[in-house]
Amino acid sequence: MAKSVEDLLAEGVSGRHVLVRSDLNVPLDGTTVTDDGRVKASLPVLTKLAQAGAKVIVMAHLGRPKGKVDPQFSIAPAATRLSELADFSVIIAEDVVGQDAQSKAESLQDGEVLVLENVRFDARETSKDDAERGEFADELVKLTGENGAYVDDAFGAVHRKHASVYDVAKRLPSYLGDLVKTEVDVLAKTLNNPERPFVVIMGGAKVSDKLAVIDNLIGKADTILIGGGMGYTFAAAQGYKVGKSILESDQISTVKRYIEEAQSKGTELVTAVDVVCGDDFSNDAKFETRPIDDMEGGELGADADGLDIGPETRKLFAEKIKSAKTIFWNGPVGVAEFENTAHGTKAVAEAIVHSDAFSIIGGGDSAAAVRKLGYTDDQFGHISTGGGASLEYIEGKTLPGLDALGA
């Protein structure tokens, strides 16, 4: 049974170095943080530890610097924003485990927080070689002295077998951060004991990215609504022509099998009955709404490119969502970055907001889409901080970071 931050605080942290894996992977415009949501989300655990007198050392990554020092991926802007929001003193190291980090870790005072430079500046962080990752983990652990502890508060990274996520957890007394614990509790309940009806909405461009999720949810969900680019592979599997829409022909046989399995296992699989087609992948395309069984009819003909679910499908999806008690949504159901093809995604978000269900937004593109459409996080039950991690959890995969913590 994994221990929590509360367990660590009960054991006592005053005067101890505590390594915390946080998620500070924020979007930047130059050196300006354009969305500080992850920084704000990291504050509660860091504040708890600092107020309890811990000497906190934060490990985090930003972007993909590919194992080399790259100033455009420096953690400094995120750390600076943390210092502006925090009630504790924030010190920023100029390297990861080098002289500056070592010196500042040694001189850290009770209640202060040291943010190390981007852990991905060191190629060993993401190495496939256990020995290389272990060597880096040893150097990170060394910063904590004789009585260190480790807290993982970065759910968005728990599906990675990285040094700061997996190997450090194997070397120190380890604890679940509040963000990780909340994610695990919410997703586990959703997967294993949802209040019913349990409705899943799956979107996004590629069906291959979501096949394992759909496979694991068939028989567990009462209803699965399929939209987005992946919907055209489902349409093709049902025998419909889909024009120039995104299509993964090599997945059609698998999708056919899932359609049959859903029927036999009591999961209702709902696909689009009409779609908004365009003659170009752009906001300025010539649009036409076509029934799915005659998508290549009308003026566009075989040039039709499905870009959004149509109005009848929006009504159908909204009816299913209205009846739900638990909702899990991952992936926009249309090209949400275009104003003219975001209507389906907006309709889904609107239906969820006005439903009585507990809703989980599966991070990533879905979260970005609802925020862009003007919805706030508190209008949904839970917005996951890790899209890839939440999907892999729902797939039923073992996540290295959680495995290392015993969660």
- Quick one: pLDDT at residue 343? 96
pTM value is 0.86
DSSP string, 382-406: EE-S-HHHHHHHHHTPPPHHHHHHT
Worst-scoring range by mean pLDDT, 76-85, 197-206, 373-382? 373-382
Binding residues are 23-25, 38, 61-64, 120, 160, 210, 306, 337, 363-366
Assess whether pLDDT exceeds 80 at residue 368. no
Question: Taking Cα atoms as reference points, which of 35, 40, 3, 42 lies closest to residue 20?
Answer: 42
The active-site residue, picked from 170, 206, 256, 371, is 206
- Is 38 in the active site? yes
The active-site residue, picked from 38, 55, 161, 290, is 38
* pLDDT tens-digit readout, 52-70: 999 999 999 999 999 999 9
* pLDDT tens-digit readout, 377-404: 889 999 887 778 888 888 888 899 999 9
Residues of the chain with pLDDT > 90: what percent? 84
- Is 227 in the active site? no
For the segment 335-359, the average pLDDT, to the nearest whole number, is 95
Phi, psi of 308 (to 5 degrees): -165, 160
- Is 21 in the active site? no
The active-site residue, picked from 204, 278, 334, 388, is 388
Binding residues for ATP are 210, 306, 337, 363-366
Residues of the chain with pLDDT > 70: what percent? 100
| Domains of the chain from N-terminus onward | 3-179 (3.40.50.1260), 186-394 (3.40.50.1260)
- Is 364 in the active site? yes
Q: Model confidence at 207, in pLDDT bands (50, 70, 90)?
A: confident
Binding residues for substrate are 23-25, 38, 61-64, 120, 160
Binding residues for (2R)-3-phosphoglycerate are 38, 120, 160
- Quick one: pLDDT at residue 372? 81
* pLDDT tens-digit readout, 100-158: 999 999 999 999 999 999 999 999 999 999 999 999 999 999 999 999 999 999 998 99
The active-site residue, picked from 364, 386, 387, 401, is 364
Q: In what order do the strands lie in the sheet with 223-226?
A: 268-270, 223-226, 198-202, 326-330, 358-361, 382-383
* pLDDT tens-digit readout, 240-276: 999 999 999 999 999 999 999 999 999 999 999 999 9
- Quick one: pLDDT at residue 363? 64
Which residues lie below 8 Å from residue 77, measured CB to CB, with a gap of 6+?
Answer: 26, 28, 31, 32, 33
